[in-house]
Amino acid sequence: YNGQIIITQLIVSIFFVINLLLIATVFSNHVFLSTMRYILFLITLVSDSVFLILSDLLLILYNIYFTMQISLCIIFYLIVSLCAFVTPVTLTAMTLERYVAICLPLRHPELCSLHNTQKCILIILTVSSVPCFIIVSTFIAAASSSVYTQHKRCSMEMFVPLPWQNHFKFALFQFYFFIMSITITFSYVKIMKVAKAASGENKKSTWKGLSTVILHAFQLLLCLIQLWCPFIESAIIKIDLLLYINVRYFDYVTFILAPRCLSPLIYGLRDEKFLNALKYLALFVHIGLICWKCIEQVGI
């Protein structure tokens, strides 16, 4: 079990460093900060980075049997849950941006302007925060006032102690899954029609956009499967505790950590403009490290 924790720390560290490099790349070019899809990409990177750090911190604290005040745990839950929802909701928005770029190219500059991007970010944060606050509200409504001063091991399961709260959470998550799946499918079908009718360079660009939507759909599927994990784990823990621990570790790596490493694949490696900026930044960092080692050797 300790080996699993160590492997998890290694995975989280690698993903977090990659995300920091990608965030620095976005800020290295003003063009990225004035284009909707790169701004949305930045939102996912920041959200995923915060999620990785806080969820990993809570994992470590839980496994060392560290207790904290329930009110503090609520704050952690709100932040982690918000970040967990921001990624799939943002991916849905990015899919719609690709739909507009390919199916409505003449209206793309207007619909995906910087001003509308700011509105889009506000909508993403609002939509992502709704389930978090609803679940916390049901917990507060059912809990006594003395609960908030108690000290317990912080876990997400403690906010759905009653069966009806668990069912309500499941229904809410499935509603989000349904809406985002419909949006992805709609965009895919529309882009597919344009791809079949396009020719030459337009056809190549359209099929690239279609492949991006497919990758978004796969990443979104992984993100949404994590919403089912608590319900599967709650059934397994009644059967075998060791199996529960192994399944929970597998779910954390596969459905929580893995989707957070697909963003670099989608935009970091497939986008030529971003890839060139990333290579330049990586080269600059590499040269900086070499110079630092030279300075240290001279100092010695």
Q: In which band, very low, low, confident or very high, does the pLDDT at 164 lie, cut at 50, 70 and 90?
A: confident
Summarised one tens digit per residue, pLDDT across range 103-126 is 888 888 899 999 999 999 999 999
Please give the pLDDT value at position 128.
92
Give the other-Cβ count within 10 Å of 279's Cβ: 11
Q: pTM of the predicted model, to two decimals?
A: 0.85
Rounded Cα distance between 37 and 93, Å, is 9
Q: Are 75 and 68 in contact, with CB atoms under 8 Å apart?
A: no
The answer, yes or no, to whether residue 85 has pLDDT greater than 60, is: yes
Report pLDDT digits (tens) over 166-191.
778 778 888 888 888 888 888 888 88
* Local confidence band at 291 (pLDDT 50, 70, 90 cut-offs): low
In the prediction, which pLDDT does 232 show? 76
197-212 per-position pLDDT tens digit: 766 666 676 777 777 7
In angstroms, rounded to a whole number, what is the distance separating the alpha carbons of residues 180 and 272?
28
pLDDT in tens, 221-268: 777 777 677 777 777 877 777 787 788 788 888 777 777 776 666 666
210-242 per-residue burial string, b: 16 or more CB within 10 A, e: under 16: bebbebbbebbbbbbbbbebbeebeeeeeeeee
Domains and CATH numbers, the chain: 1-269 (1.20.1070.10)
